[in-house]
Amino acid sequence: MANRPQILTDMQVSFCGSAGDGTIAAGDIFKRAMAEAGYQIIAFDVYPPEIRGFGKCIARTRVTFDQVYSLKPQSDVLLSLDDSHAIPHVGEVRDYGAVIYEDRPMATVEEGEHMSGHLKPAQLPYGVSFRELSERATSGARFRNIVAVGFIAGLYGLPRDLFHRTIGRKFAGKPAEVTESNIAAFDLGYDDGAKTFQVDINGFGPPPKRKKSEKVLMMHGNSAVARGCLSAKIDTFFGYPITPATSIMEILAKEMPKRGGRLLQTEDEISAVAAIVGAGFTGSRSATSTSGPGLALMTEVMGLGSIAEVPCVIFVSQRGGPSTGMPTKTEQSDLNLAVRGVAGDAQRIVLAPTNVEGCFKCAGIAFEIAEKYQTPVIVLLDLYLSNRYEAVALPNKNPFKLDATKWAKKPGKGDAYQRYKLTPDFISPRAIPGQQGMQHTITGLEHNELGRPNDQPAMHEAMSHKRHEKLKTAINYPNLTTSKRFGDKGRVRVGVLSWGSTFGECLEAMITVRKQGITCSAMKVVMISPLPVDEISRFMDDCDVVLVPELNYEGQFASIVMGTLGRPVHRLNRVTGTPMAVNDIIEEIQILAADKPKRRKAAE
Amino acid sequence: MKKPLRYAIIGSGAAGTEAACQLRLRDPESEITVITASKLQFISRYDLPRVFEGVDDWRELLVYPPEFYEDNRITVRRNTWVAGVNPRENKLNFRHKEEMSYDKLLVASGGGGYMPEALREFLPYMNPFSTFSNAARLRDSLGKKGKVLMLGSDMVGLDLARYLTSAGHDVTVYANELLFWPHEIKPEDTAPYVKALETMGIKVVFGRKPVAVEPVNSSSKAGKYTRRLVFEKGKAELANVVMPFYGLMPALDFMIGANVDIERGLLVNPELKTTNDRIWAAGDVCQIWSPEENRYSFYYGWNNVKEMGHLAAHNMTGDNREIKTAQTNELKITKKGELHSPYWEHD
């Protein structure tokens, strides 16, 4: 409409359909086009474990002018490709938001099962003939999803050519007719949207202007991990597919051979982790990826990595558990396993990025840390972060060191090389097989400085001390943000302490409550083990009360914090299989800020 | 426990919405569903000209806020087209292939603008004026000091014309014998009323028969104009918009086969009941039997329409009241010499 004030974009679009409807593909085209236009993007797809014909798929994309940190609790647009799945989500659309649905279905609709009967009075209905338009464009109904993308683009006046380019790229490897059909379907949808009067008051304003030097890419957490691995010049990858970690391996399988790397799909997770320990022993930068059930299988061999002091990296994307659990739902419930799931008295380094850019950084720096401290490093994601898309500005220069090893010098004549030499910094100079004069053995048995089995009390004590103490200095590893505080400085009413993917929601909640007049800070903790105790302690000193929201039943991070620091925190736990709702955190902060001592006491 | 009655109301205008309100009052446990093709909740046609007064947000024009429907448990199925009524099974068939059961049905679907057969093919180049989107598009097409050509015109068109002239636009009416419809003014009596229109800044031209409306390329000699109205004998007039106002045609296609009597409108008795015991009608869609006049008549105007919705709801819930006109039909000229019609009055 004319004479509208220019809007600062903050639109969340949700595509909802059944597996096989092309819901995720529609969302993918939409978000890629928006990212190319220059908007900030956060996107997250939810899909069922079944391959096709069952279950609900939702692709949500938040498109913004300014940087944001999570999806919104309510979407501005819900597009239904299958009303039976989308109807339960109508309540997630804001007042005066748009609900777009099929108004010429192929088959008879049972009474009460059409979207038009479920809209709230303040929501805006757009009935569109996706099927008919698809049939008109391509003689088939399977391009309904692309018609739907076209309709949204036309309705909100988004550039047509931008989507043409995105569709072209998406189907680049396929016969030309595939791209042509998709573009024809898109165009008919676009034309229909363009001639439809947009009653929705909100819309898309112009995107922000980017610096020319900035390289902005849209990627999800797993692709950022893969890119981090490639930037760190990973040599070998061994893995066994498991949702939601599989795409890390898929991307590396394509990219590593081009760069001289080797990737092998092993027969199971035990083989995978054994292979990376073996590869790490030889000096190869090596990694695997898995999820909770795979990590459980890997723990024994990771113990070998700890005692043999072999650098290797394990990427873990958590999902709902225990056991097979909920493979396509998110959860943060493998923290205990990652930090403490080990036979014997070993500590390991665990990093948990909080956003997609963090996935890139943590992935690359994990190799440095593993080499520097000669130990397995776990990088802990979850399904939400693995699959969440963001527009990420990557540095043009490779930020990672390609060798962080403290190498051994050739021993003097008559001296034996001591692989596990006790040193003031607890890190033994390292050598790899084939280095002249530095032959040595490694073993899972406790050993002496030469690496020979030795179970004498003093030796076990000395080696245990060495293995623990060397990790403590990892807190100070350069260029690694182990924790960071945001929001109000100084004394605050409520502090939110968070880790992993949930931090985005915490940040959004903190920003909201500050606007409501509550003094609030949020701290993200990226290094979970060893824990940056001093920073957390200083943060807690400043807070009247500390809230720890996380997606597990027990409050695993809260327990680690309380156990390590001996200070009370207030837990907020959800195990819905979905990301933490920002409103839940806001509500909890409001309750805590309102000072309800009874409730707080009970929680503590 | 007694099963709540299901009332279906086709149409969310003044009659349908008034009926829904009354039904809720008189049958608190019932299920009330209003079906409308509109995307928006009820906006009065009479408020649409406010877009020319700077109202840009349609929410300001809503007769009732969304909460009203929630609070009163009135379901409004918007963007929904009724394709047919199945009187044997008491079901509505929607265009999107869903059925909806009802116990009692009120048809209050109103009327659409009538269009002479010869001009129908040119509809894409004309601007209707019955929804907010129509009004907003009209405003955008006109810009500042736009030129409007009204065809036929009636009291709905003349109502809009007075707002357009007040907003600085140039309005010419190419009139026919139905210029003051639904007022029944004899041709020999129209002169003072035409003069009153001219006092209001509305130009009235008789005797020019439009035969075509064409789009005009804005890069041509037409300048800012985008439409050409062509008359018999080849003469033409340029403008920003061309608008048809040839009276109302009851929107009733979906009632064909519903086992009710239809003439021009849906025929009802003075209690607004059709020939089907479960179906009533109200508003511009119905022709009401008048025993005094011994004929079926339409009752137009906001007050009449609203009263019909009110009465229908009462009769659907057990009353047996007869309709009486709620307003006069007298076309007046004010002291300023301007025209005033009771059909322009509303709440």
- pLDDT for the residue A3: 42
pLDDT score for A2:
40
Q: Indicate whether B345 belongs to any domain.
A: no
Nearest Cα residue to A79 out of A152, A21, A161, A170: A152
What pLDDT, in 10s, does the model give residues B78-99? 999 999 999 999 999 999 999 9
Check whether residue B145 and residue B122 sit in a common domain: yes
pLDDT value of position A597: 53
B217 exposure class (CB count in 10 Å sphere: 0-12, 13-18, 19+):
exposed
DSSP A317-335: EE-B-STT-BTTS-----H
Is residue B121 domain-shared with residue B140, that is, in the same domain? yes
Using the Cβ of B295 and the Cβ atoms of chain A, whether some distance falls under 8 Å is answered with: no
Interface contacts (A, B; CB < 8 Å): 75
More confident residue, A202 or A13: A13
Decide if A224 contacts A165 (C-beta within 8 A). no
Could you tell me which residues of chain A have a Cβ less than 8 Å from any Cβ in chain B? Answer: 1-4, 95-96, 102-105, 107-111, 113-114, 116-117, 119-122, 124-127, 197, 199, 201
Alpha-carbon distance of A228 to A351, in angstroms, equals 14
SS (H, E, C) B34-89: EECCCCCCCECHHHHHHHHHCCCCHHHHECCCHHHHHHCCEEEECCCCEEEEECCC
Question: Do the chains contact at B98 and A95, CB–CB below 8 Å?
Answer: no
Statement to judge: residues B175 and B59 lie in one domain: no
Tell me whether B63 touches chain A (CB under 8 Å).
no
- Within-domain flag for B339: no
Q: Which residue of A has its CA nearest to B142?
A: A2
Tens of pLDDT, residues A406-449: 999 988 888 999 999 999 999 999 999 999 999 998 999 999 99
Is the Cβ pair B94, A107 closer than 8 Å?
no
Alpha-carbon distance of A457 to A241, in angstroms, equals 42
**Angle CA A69–A74–A77, to nearest 5:** 105
Amino acid at B280: W
Nearest to B140 among A2, A110, A127 (CB): A2
pLDDT classification of A199: cutoffs 50, 70, 90: confident
Model confidence over B308-325: pLDDT tens digits? Answer: 999 999 999 999 999 987
Query: What is the predicted pLDDT for the residue at B329?
Result: 80
- Are B97 and A119 an interchain contact pair (Cβ–Cβ within 8 Å)? no
Kindly state whether residues B191 and B86 are assigned to the same domain: no
Closest by CA to B33, choosing from B94, B66, B78, is B78
Q: Rounded to 5 degrees, what are φ and ψ at B60? A: -70, -15
- 8 A C-beta contact, residue A390 and residue A42: yes
| Pairing label, strands B227-231, B236-239 | antiparallel
- Tell whether B57 is within 8 A of chain A (Cβ): yes
CA angle centred on A182, ends A180 and A185, rounded to 5°: 110
Q: How far is CA A556 from the centre of its chain?
A: 18
> Per DSSP, what are the bridge partners of residue A529?
A350
Over residues A151-172, mean pLDDT: 96
- Read off the tokens for A51: 């391959």
B201 and B279 in a single domain? The answer is no
Confidence band of A312 (pLDDT split at 50, 70, 90):
very high
Spell out which residues of chain B touch residue A4, defining contact as CB-CB under 8 Å. Answer: 56
What's the complex ipTM? 0.90
Nearby residues of B93 by Cβ (< 8 Å), 6 or more positions away: B82, B83, B84, B85, B86, B99
Residue B174 domain flag: yes
User: What is the tens place of the pLDDT at every residue in B275-313?
Assistant: 999 999 999 999 999 888 899 988 888 999 999 999 999
For B180-189, the CB contacts below 8 A with 24+ separation are B180/B154, B180/B155, B180/B331, B180/B341, B181/B154, B181/B155, B181/B247, B182/B154, B182/B155, B182/B247, B182/B298, B182/B300, B182/B329, B182/B343, B183/B155, B183/B329, B183/B331, B183/B341, B183/B343, B184/B329, B185/B331
DSSP code of residue B166: H
Q: Which domains does chain A have, with CATH numbers?
A: 10-195 (3.40.920.10), 217-394 (3.40.50.970), 483-603 (3.40.50.920)
Q: Return the residue in B32, B69, B98 with the most chain A beta carbons within 10 A, the one to mutate for interface testing.
A: B98
- Asked if residue B135 and residue B53 are part of one domain, the reply reads no
**Is it the case that residue B224 has pLDDT exceeding 90?**
no
Residue B15 pLDDT grade (very low, low, confident, very high; cuts 50, 70, 90): very high
From B246, B273, B296, the end of a domain falls on B246
Predicted pLDDT of residue A1: 39
Residue-wise pLDDT for A532-572, tens only, equals 999 999 999 999 999 999 999 999 999 999 999 999 999 99
Residue B120 and residue B127: Cα distance in Å, rounded? Answer: 13
Question: What is the tally of structural domains in chain B?
Answer: 2
Q: Does the pLDDT value for residue A210 go beyond 80?
A: no
Distance CA A273, CA A445 (A): 18
B253-275 pLDDT, tens digit each: 999 989 999 999 999 999 999 99
Q: How far apart are CA B326 and CA B337, in angstroms?
A: 26
Q: What is the CA radius of gyration of chain A?
A: 26
Same domain as B278, residue B206: no
Site of tokens 């100079």: A429
Average pLDDT over residues B161-169: 94
Give residue-wise pLDDT tens across range A507-539.
Answer: 999 999 999 999 999 999 999 999 999 999 999
User: Shortest Cα distance from A153 to chain B (angstroms)?
Assistant: 19
- Of the candidates B217, B61, B215, B78, the one whose C-alpha atom is nearest the C-alpha of residue B135 is B61
Residues A346-376: tens digit of each pLDDT:
889 999 999 999 999 999 999 999 999 999 9
Domain assignment of residue B197, given as a range: 115-246
pLDDT > 60? residue A598: no
- Binary contact (B136, A114; C-beta < 8 A): no
Taking only the tens place, the pLDDT of each residue in A237-267 is 999 999 999 999 999 999 999 999 999 999 9
With a cut of 80, say whether residue A102 has pLDDT above it.
yes
Can you tell me the mean pLDDT for B205-209? 92
Q: Quick one: pLDDT at residue B347?
A: 81
> Nearest C-alpha of chain A: how many angstroms from B305?
24
Q: Do B26 and B172 belong to one domain?
A: no
Query: CB B80 to CB A116 under 8 A?
Result: yes
Query: B296 with B267: CB under 8 angstroms?
Result: yes
B76 vs A: CB within 8 A: yes
Task: Share the mean pLDDT of chain B.
Answer: 93
Among B58, B66, B98, the residue with its CB nearest the CB of A199 is: B58
On whether both B292 and B224 belong to a single domain, the answer is: no
Residue B94 belongs to some domain of the structure: yes
What's residue B220's pLDDT? 59
Q: Do B19 and B87 belong together in one domain?
A: yes
Q: Which residues in chain B have Cβ-Cβ distances shorter than 8 Å to A108? A: 97-99
Residue B147 has pLDDT above 70, yes or no: yes
Determine, for residues B100 and A122 on separate chains, whether the beta-carbon distance falls below 8 Å.
no
Among B217, B246, B275, identify where a domain stops.
B246
Q: How far apart are CA A334 and CA A312, in angstroms?
A: 19
Tell me the average pLDDT across A1-17. 75
Question: Between residues 13 and 42 of chain B, which touch chain A (CB distance below 8 Å)?
Answer: 39-41
Give me the half-sphere count of Cα atoms (radius 13 Å) on the Cβ side of residue A441: 10
Residue A453 DSSP class: B
> Residue A216 — pLDDT band, cuts 50, 70, 90?
confident
Q: How far is CA B296 from CA A103, A602, B252, B287, in A?
A: 37, 75, 16, 5
d(CA B80, CA B305): 22
Instruction: Give the start-end residues of each E strand in A87-207.
Output: 93-102, 124-128
pLDDT of B164 over the 90 cut? yes
Please, what is the average pLDDT of chain A?
93
Nearest beta carbon to residue B97 from set A109, A199, A201: A109
Task: Tell whether B156 and B61 lie within a shared domain.
Answer: no
- Helix or strand holding residue B15 (H, E): helix B14-26
Model confidence at A153, pLDDT cuts 50, 70, 90, reads very high
In this prediction, what percent of chain B has a pLDDT beyond 70? 98
Residue A55: predicted pLDDT: 85
Indicate which CATH number applies to the domain containing B177.
Answer: 3.50.50.60
Whether residues B145 and B239 fall in one domain: yes
Whether residue B132 lies within 8 A of chain A, CB to CB, comes out as: yes
Mean pLDDT of A130-137: 95
**Chain B residues within an 8 Å CB radius of A127:** 79-80, 96
Average pLDDT over residues A450-475: 96
Which residue of chain B is at minimal alpha-carbon distance from A102? Answer: B96
Q: What digits encode the pLDDT tens for the residues A28-55?
A: 999 999 999 989 999 998 877 765 557 8
pLDDT at site B310: 97
